Structure 1
Amino acid sequence: MKITTTEKYTLLKPTNNSLGEFQVNLEKELSKFEGAHLILDFSEKINTKIEELLLFLSLSSQHKENGTSFVIISKGINIDEIPDELNVVPTITEAIDIIEMDAIERDLGF
């Protein structure tokens, strides 16, 4: 897993092709990212399936409950097929925008 930390978020990129394996490793190391806004970058992974993204649904819900954002970057996904609890966007710019919008919502008490 490649980790890039900025002032606003932590970007995680898988170093292998298995999102299932990445998800298991992320859950093991999740305590390292406590309090961080996470962006998972799967943009380089071709033919990502919705079922693979749904593996991260519980992690997304857990982060929202803890007051942090959780966004996945993945291209070629039909957003209408993704549950509302999971933020999936095609670019890093949109992922950062989601984090900023989540922060505004939290400030307003939503």
Structure 2
Amino acid sequence: MILDQDGNISIITQEKATIIELVKKIQDVYSKLKHDNIIVNLTSLNKLSVQDIIEFLELSNSHRASKQSFVIVSNSIDINDTPDEIIVVPTLQEAYDIIEMEEMERDLGI
């Protein structure tokens, strides 16, 4: 797992771990990330299933409940097949755009 900071955004890039291992690693360091927006970059994975995305659901729900953004980046899954409760976008730029929109909505109290 590679962890980068960009202002108030933590970008987690998957390297060699399985999805389950990656989720566990994120949970282990979550106390350091809980006040940041989180982008999980899975673009290095050629095959990704809906079940892989669902592994992040609990983490995403709890993070979003604390008024922070949680976005997964993957271009190897049909976004229409993923649960509505989790945000999956095909590019890193779209992840930044989602976070920017959600921050504006939070600022406006929406």
Q: TM-score scaled by structure 1?
A: 0.94
Structure 2 equivalent of residue 83 of structure 1: 83
| Greater mean deviation of Cα atoms: 91-100 or 17-26 | 17-26
Q: Once the 2 structures are TM-superposed, how far is the Cα of residue 17 of structure 1 from its aligned partner?
A: 4.2
Runs of 4+ in structure 1 over 4 Å off: none
Structure 2 equivalent of residue 96 of structure 1: 96
Q: TM-score scaled by structure 2?
A: 0.94
RMSD over aligned Cα, in angstroms? 1.1
For structure 2, which runs of at least 5 residues remain unmatched after alignment? none
Tell me if the contact between 2:61 and 2:85 (Cα under 8 Å) persists in the aligned partners. yes
| Rounded Cα–Cα distance in structure 2 between residues aligned with 1:81 and 1:107 | 30
| Greater mean deviation of Cα atoms: 93-102 or 1-10 | 1-10
What is the correspondence of 1:1-110 to structure 2 with a 5 Å cutoff?
1-110=1-110
Tell me if the contact between 1:17 and 1:45 (Cα under 8 Å) persists in the aligned partners. no
Q: Percent identity?
A: 33
Name the SS of the counterpart of 2:105 in structure 1. Answer: helix
Which one-letter code corresponds to 1:26 in the other structure? Answer: I
Number of residue pairs aligned between Structure 1 and Structure 2: 110
